[in-house]
Structure 1
Amino acid sequence: MPEPIEDVTFHDEDWYAEDLADRHFVACAFHRVDLTEATSRGATFVGCTFGDVQFNVSRHTDSAFTRCTFIRCNLFEAEFTGCKVIGSTFDRCDLRPLTVTGGDWSFVTLAGADLRGGRFTGVRMREADLSGADLSGATLTGVDLSDVQWRGTRLSGADLRGSDLAGLEPTAVQRAGTIIDVFQAATLARALGFDIRD
């Protein structure tokens, strides 16, 4: 792995379609950097800040964005595969449509985020903050959603089949048309105080 780049601020740079494979950034700041169609494999960003950065149609594989802050970034059709985004915060970002496959997004803050139509598959999202987020029509299948903050989350028409919903309070979310499996239905019924018997 190359030497890490630490405490550097990047302003108004054109990194269009840049290959960020194996790059390592620590406590760096990126402001108005164009990462449209950029790719990263094995890249690491630790404690970095991204402000008004364009991630449109970018592809990230086995990369890490840990304890990072994303402010007013555009992630239109961005894809994250096997990435670690642990403890990061997304603030006023354009996240539609976002595709996340595998990886670990635990402790991520997505409060109030517009995630309509997003696809999250096989990803760990333990204790993520999804309060007030709009996940209408989104797909979250096989996702570890245990102990997520759900208050005011919109799940109408979302597909949650195969996901761990431990800690979900059904009355705290908008749930019309939300798709769940039989096992999840029993779990949620117990959460509502029902005694399920044959």
Structure 2
Amino acid sequence: MADRLHGRPAPKTESTIRDWEDADPSGQTFTKVLFIDSDLTEVTNQGGVFEECTFRGVRFNASVHTDAAFVNCTFVRCSFFDSAFTRCKLMGSLFDDCTYNLMKVDGGDWSFTGLPGADLRGTEFTGVKLREADLTGLRASKAVFRNVDLSGAYLHQADLSGCDLRGSDLSTVDPLTVALKGAIVDLPQAMTITQSLGLEVRP
């Protein structure tokens, strides 16, 4: 299982829910719950809160989450195919061996999340805070990361080739360790990357 940044242990759960049927988390709060093999396909979650919960083998396919929170949670072997997260808070959560095809994230705070080695190809992140997130070894070629706050993010050996990065904070991107071939950037970002290579830009 992937480790949290700085070796922090996953929160211990205190109760278990298996095969959660007819799930409707909207407006509810769950704390330190272990969810196993539940099918949340096409669930609409409006404002549901999950704190220090663990999800194992849970299917979030085509689910819609709005103004919801998954704070300091752990996701193991979960599927997020065609899921949507709007203005959601996932601070401190860890994702391990999950799939994310066609996932869309609009706004919200994903700071301090752990997505090491995640395959985010084909996903869309717009206006999201990913401050100090662990994105080591991330595979996000041809993904969309528009207006994303990546300040302090760990991007060593990440693949952002062909990724649309316009408007995002690239101040911590090291072009010597991050694949950027074909990435789409704006002029200020091009200046940032050029300066990080030690080049001096003059008129």
Normalised-by-shorter TM-score class? over 0.9
Give the 5 Å matches for 1:47-196. Answer: 47-196=52-201
* Native 8 Å contact 1:147 1:168 kept in 2: no
**1:12: which partner in 2?**
19
**2:8: which partner in 1?**
none
**1:34: which partner in 2?**
39
User: How far apart, in 1, do the equivalents of 2:38 and 2:183 lie?
Assistant: 38
**1:3: which partner in 2?**
none
Amino acid at match of 2:77: R
How far off its partner does 1:97 sit? 1.6
Deviations 1:39-64 (A, max 9, x none): 11111100000000010000000010
How far off its partner does 1:174 sit? 1.3
How far off its partner does 1:7 sit? 3.1
How far off its partner does 1:195 sit? 1.3
How far off its partner does 1:19 sit? 3.0
Which segment is superposed worse, 83-92 or 33-42? 33-42
Q: How many percent identity over aligned positions?
A: 47
Deviations 1:61-109 (A, max 9, x none): 0010000000000110110000000000000001112100000000111
Deviations 1:152-190 (A, max 9, x none): 111111000000111110111111101110000001111
Gaps of 5+ in 2: 1-12
Amino acid at match of 2:16: T
Give the aligned length.
191
Q: What TM-score do the two structures reach when normalised by structure 2?
A: 0.91
